[in-house]
Structure 1
């Protein structure tokens, strides 16, 4: 994320401490509940409407309701069968909460008995499922439409304490944009807004979707990669899918083929919706703490297509940091015969504390409008010729305000209009830079200093057996220095070995889309051979404190590397590199090599390697920062192949060898019983080499669990020249604990994991060098299993 908006986002987050704030919005927002006056029990399915209008809603199973209306009446009415009507006066243009207490009607009706062979709600549900394939908008050979998309991020739980904080005296102008949500009554402040207009193309065979973002507008961002996420492909919801994926979890859709096993359905009424007769149903989960929704669905009375859905995640659904997920979908008939999604709206309430009205959090909102549909009209072949799924049209950021005024499907409200200017105003306040620099230091670990960043701070102080106390000072250039070239490096000093060490390098971004860069690095420092790249670095302050055994198996590495990264298309890339290294033994270790007659000690192992890495990740999504690109994952397997050739007699290198490593990994949902992740890897080395060049099984000598290492294995414990390994983890997300009453409230979730490795070593490599006394070859499989 660009540093300026990243800092604004965190700046608002860190400052929120916490009272209600009153909205100045023009829309009238109402939340409330309908209860029995005598028993105070909720009255489900009560009708709540504005007097002398046709605007209204139905209360849910728990009697609660919410409304967000532009029309105005000064009286809100609630009615329910068997009760007298209730009346409440309301005020225009503000958020308010109301409670209706209805008294039982004295008018009695004659008893009427109605018999049905099946629950009417289930009859409608079955018809909806029977007609799913005909009504699902995705089932066309070719499908094309226009998309207007709007994304907003809001800091919520804004309060008077925060507004009166002395650090906020210079920023009082931002509070004029505070509003209140009808999802849960939280006050919020918009901090980010994006808009886009796209053209989307879908093909059934082979199944492909392409989006061309014609125009985009983003508050405060100067980043091409961000524009990709302003379109619609990253947030689509299809009510006809059996599962709706949110936060990598499978929620059972109320229109799922097996919805009856997860939901109870109730027919409320028949209504006219967009000039179409519809059955109005409500649904709720059958069981507690499952990944389900509660809400309403409107089904067309003749085609049995879904006409509208309003739903929220079940209040007891167990999701990390997510308090609410609210989804609204509207469908309409296009070309007189095809049901299509015409509008959708998604709201996420993200907070570290469950259902907190005080602790700061964020709303993430997305609203989309779909129009100009084309069915079974084949687009030009060029649309599907590129392997990328999202294309930014040339000049997509260059459109005027007039264009946006004419191309918005829904006008911006007062607060949305203010976001664009508010971001610029906040950045222009001088003290803002000081605040954001401190936040950036605490979160990213770097201190901003003009064109440079000093850090990372967590590597500044550490300890290991060879160096004793170690201090390190490093830094890197930022985009103020160059938007293409980054320089980086550090110097370190160990007080026991009294040696200065360090590293330095540079890389240059040739292109950002597709991603291509060239770079070079130099290093003279201690290194833990066999340690995974995802593990804690050796000079990390935290890892120094949390070691379960001394870190005394390092080597001193001196070398340089030059490399070139080339992305061929989204998801497929290759990297070619040349690496020249010298490895010196430290801490009493020796490198002893068989010279044909005896073992001879050598001062260093010298290698020259040429490597090729290829990676394929189908439909992988990325976020592009100023220099680095971060993967947002894919639901498909990721494949990697690493090929390395050790070149003999080049720069004093002696050994000739060839190394092959293949890896595949994937994270995927398993129906509604949780999600799994696996990593499978095989490797082999051809040639005769000293033991540091063999395949060292990844150990872990810290108390921090490393999912890609063997946590009970020490460094250098097992060495092979061929191996196969597997890592598997499954998260049940409370599948068992959620059904045990005394455990349900703890929100515990079950997880199991298993990892193992099998390998061996040839006699030539076993006897070519003398292994450390603590190193072995794998004579049988090694495995670890765990549950929690």
Structure 2
């Protein structure tokens, strides 16, 4: 659905009236060696940068084609192509006759490597975030998705005409942003968006404001372009990731070394290639140019200015340009994905200089001695309440890059098209769909309810959801109704909430539920909104209990990184099977519980965007830690048992530049007191209790033990560890990149007073449970295969009973 939307909005196919493609190579006149990263421009401002082999491709409109070729340390040359018979040229540049400062380093070995080693050693002195205790600055960013104005559409219908107006008269998307940035050493940098506007939208699409388009610093370990990470050219592992070569030196008040960097392990490590201009005295970066060629063609520029008072090079401006490449790489925007690479594969679909996405940022108003202190545990980005209502005078005051007539037309032209095509509604649908809802008017339908299946209810059909801000900004109502065809029973839930504090997202809720719950299941309140199109483990569950529950809860964000929820509930419990609980000589198959629960979710390394609608997590950071405490009270509302339950889990994911990743999930749960089996713990088993391996063939779960049979183990003390190591994808074709994941899982636990639980035969986990296996994912339409083997203390006598062979299903929208 997302791809269709953005194809409609940005990528309507069109034909080219005229197109001239000039290819060439730039070399040294005396040595015939290629000159990498030379600049090639035309009179009409089309440009190209030569590759590491000195080659370039540039597109022009008509003959004659006048080229200007420049390269550091060489004479600039003009070259004219008057005939269409010339399609490939070789351009020779001659070195400038200058007395360049000699490179003298005492360390033996490669000159370039020694310079880089020293530059890495000097990073803390040259990086403003390390050298300054605090500082602030402002930025003006102009971000546009654009197309050459020669484009024309084949289709003469109304939609095509509207889209033609977008491309010819305006940019297909344009946004402007003015921000204040504040930095205190030892704390996260804070960005306050002072002004923001986007073509076609009355209010910002907050997903765009949260995108990391381009890193501000080249001193960090990773360089980020559109949330994708690449090895930094001055990272601590830079010499393992890059080759370096001194191309030249520059003269002036602050002479610099010009150093080429090229990937050593481009097939294994996401890398860039380019040139660094390093100050001869401090080895700080004066300027940087980098590129990435392949599925996307990316060109990055950084310029810095020297401040004599601080003796630092501070950012002056930076730009990233993305053009279609040879693959189908996608750029995420609005919660959907724009396929940039697709255009690059269609030679008839692109004209002019081939720029597709351009982001330019200017830095100004530096203050290296600000009085403001940044609070700890705050949002990384905050939006000023007046940011979307700034006047044209305000914009003119802060614009540092010229706004063109075509830029200004974008706001009015695209406004009308967005309204006519109802684009805001489509984006709203995409963003709601990503968290499991489909909005219709004032009501958001919950997509987890329409259809499910399990071994107790059989087919479970239903409908549910909650009201949105169109109904009320302070009140909400929610509910659902489902029907199980095998047990022939309706289940339902109804409730509502009132907003107590908008800034902290504090909601007071009251709910009533009449439904089923799996025996031994344990849910963290702060994790309740986990949406999946398909919940594979639920298919095989057949051991449930009935509950009728009244609950009242308070949701509150204590800090941007600390989410809490407190709940008090009273439940009437009935069994669906023959289970009974013996407590103090009394037998219970029906009982009542009264519980209070407090849950916390801490994301200390995540980054959050504060919007008028609340907080939005814009960058995942790990570990994420969740904790929950539940206390049961005997005698409160005639409840039968006293007990307590504590659960804590920690999730940690390591994402590597070679596209591999390792995730660890550690969870520990303890229950004590008079607690029935329904409220104990299981380890998420997912093996149906059937005779053969093929009868047990189903779909693997997300965090389940695939070889552990349902109802085989229950515990009142349980610890589990799951480790998943995803290898870098196997690129068998541009459209076929399967992924192998190595998996191992451990569980250990015990249960007290096992004889008090009657009617169910289960074991303890005190000897430790182990299984290992692998998944091969993304074989077809989100499907893959998994294999797991059970070993160790709970290995079963029959070999085949220790094996689980299943489908996997991972679908990223």
CA contact (8 A) 1:150 1:230 kept: no
**Once the 2 structures are TM-superposed, how far is the Cα of residue 369 of structure 1 from its aligned partner?**
1.9
Could you tell me whether the CA contact under 8 Å between 2:462 and 2:480 is conserved in 1? Answer: yes
Is 1:210 the counterpart of 2:190 in the alignment? yes
Q: Deviations over 1:242-278 (max 9, x none)?
A: 33356777532222344232222233333468x7533
Partner residue of 2:312?
A: 338
Counterpart check, 1:784 vs 2:771: yes
Alpha-carbon spacing, 1:32–1:278, altered in 2? closer, same or farther (3 Å): farther
Alignment match, 2:544: 554
Aligned to 1:410: 401
Structure 2 residue 492 is the aligned partner of structure 1 residue 502: yes
> Offset of 1:563 from its aligned partner?
0.7
- The answer for the alignment partner of 2:25 in structure 1 is 34
Instruction: Give me the TM-score of the superposition, normalised by structure 1.
Output: 0.77
Residue 371 of structure 2 aligns with which residue?
379
1:654 pairs with 2:640? yes
Match of 2:289 in 1: 310
CA gap of 1:552–1:364, structure 2 versus 1, over 3 A, is: farther
**1:101-128 per-position Cα deviation (integer Å, ceiling 9, x unaligned):** 228999xxxxxxx999754433543443
In structure 2, C-alpha distance between the alignment counterparts of 1:158 and 1:733, rounded to whole Å:
40
Cα deviations across residues 561-609 of structure 1 (Å, max 9, x unaligned)? 21111222221232111122223222xx1231225557x462x332111
Q: Say whether 1:254 aligns with 2:233.
A: yes
CA 1:731/1:551 → structure 2, altered by over 3 Å: closer, same or farther?
closer
- Which residue, out of 167, 190, 193, partners 2:172? 190
Q: Describe the shift of the 1:335–1:396 C-alpha distance in structure 2 as closer, same or farther (beyond 3 A).
A: farther
CA contact (8 A) 2:270 2:657 kept: no
C-alpha contact 1:147 1:368 (8 A) present in aligned 2: no
SS at match of 1:607: strand
Deviations 1:624-663 (A, max 9, x none): 7897865344434222221111111223320110111122
User: Which residue of structure 2 lines up, in the alignment, with residue 150 of structure 1?
Assistant: 141
Cα pair distance change 1:503/1:139, threshold 3 Å: same
Q: Is the 8 Å Cα contact of residues 132 and 240 (structure 1) preserved in structure 2? A: yes
**Structure 1 residue 374, shift from structure 2 partner:** 2.9
The offset of 1:492, in angstroms, is: 1.7
Shift of 1:169: 4.3
Would you say 1:631 and 2:617 are equivalent positions?
yes
How many Å separate the matches in 1 of 2:77 and 2:490?
83
Q: Are 2:271 and 1:284 equivalent residues in the alignment?
A: no
Shift of 1:614: 2.1
Distance 1:226 1:87, change over 3 A: same
* Distance (Å, rounded) in 1 between the aligned partners of 2:379 and 2:35: 49
Equivalent residue number for residue 111 of structure 1: none
Matched, 1:591 2:579: yes
Could you tell me how far apart the structure 2 residues matched to 1:101 and 1:666 are?
A: 53
Structure 1 residues 638 and 163, CA, compared in 2 at 3 Å: closer, same or farther? farther
Give, in whole Å, the separation in 2 of the partners of 1:618 and 1:97: 62
Q: CA shift at 1:472, angstroms?
A: 1.3
- Alignment CA distance shift 1:48-1:154 (3 Å): closer
Structure 2, gaps ≥5 residues long: 95-101, 324-328, 331-336, 350-354, 688-696, 776-813
**Which of 726, 730, 741 matches 2:725?**
730
Alignment match, 2:163: 172
Alignment of 1:558-573 (within 5 A): 558-573=548-563
**Aligned pairs (5 A) from 1:273-672:** 276-289=254-267, 290-313=269-292, 315=294, 323-335=296-308, 337-347=311-321, 350-351=329-330, 355-357=341-343, 366-375=359-368, 377=369, 379-381=371-373, 383-384=374-375, 387-393=378-384, 395-429=386-420, 448-456=439-447, 459-530=449-520, 542-543=534-535, 550-586=540-576, 589-594=577-582, 596-597=584-585, 600=587, 602=589, 604-622=590-608, 631-669=617-655
Q: Is the 8 A contact 1:144 1:201 kept in 2?
A: yes
CA displacement at 1:497 relative to structure 2: 3.1
Q: How many angstroms apart in 1 are the aligned matches of 2:118 and 2:665?
A: 43
CA contact (8 A) 2:662 2:725 kept: yes
Distance 2:564 2:85 in 1: 58
> Residue in 1 aligned with 2:685?
699
- Cα shift readout 1:700-724 (whole Å, capped 9, x = no counterpart): 3684443333233344332100111
Of 737, 758, 763, the match for 1:770: 758
Query: Structure 1 unaligned runs (5+)?
Result: 1-6, 107-113, 180-188, 316-321
1:536 Cα offset (Å)? 12
Q: Matched residue of 2:141: which SS?
A: strand
Q: Does the 8 Å CA contact 2:263/2:272 hold for their aligned counterparts?
A: yes
Whether 1:13 and 2:7 are equivalent positions in the alignment is: yes
Distance 1:191 1:232 in 2: 15
* 1:223-252 CA distance string (max 9 Å, x none): 68939x748988544212233356777532
Contact 1:570/1:620 (CA < 8 Å) preserved in 2?
A: no
* 1:35/1:394 CA distance change after superposition, 3 Å: closer
Counterparts in 2 of 1:66 and 1:51: CA distance versus 1, 3 Å: closer
Q: What is the RMSD of the two structures over their aligned residues, measured on CA atoms? A: 4.9
Deviates more, 1:529-538 or 1:507-516: 529-538
Q: Secondary structure at the match of 1:429?
A: helix
Contact 1:463 1:541 in 2 (8 A): no
Give, in angstroms, the shift of residue 616 of structure 1.
2.2
Provide, for residues 115-157 of structure 1, a one-character-per-residue CA deviation record: whole Å limited to 9, x for no partner: 9975443354344334333322222342323221426363889
Counterpart CA distance in 1 for 2:770 and 2:614 is 35
Q: Distance in 2 between matches of 1:137 and 1:402?
A: 32
Q: How far apart in 1 are the matches of 2:160 and 2:216?
A: 42
**How much has 1:759 moved relative to structure 2?**
0.6
Q: How many residues align?
A: 726
Pairwise CA distance, 1:619: 4.3
- Name the SS for the 1:776 alignment partner: coil
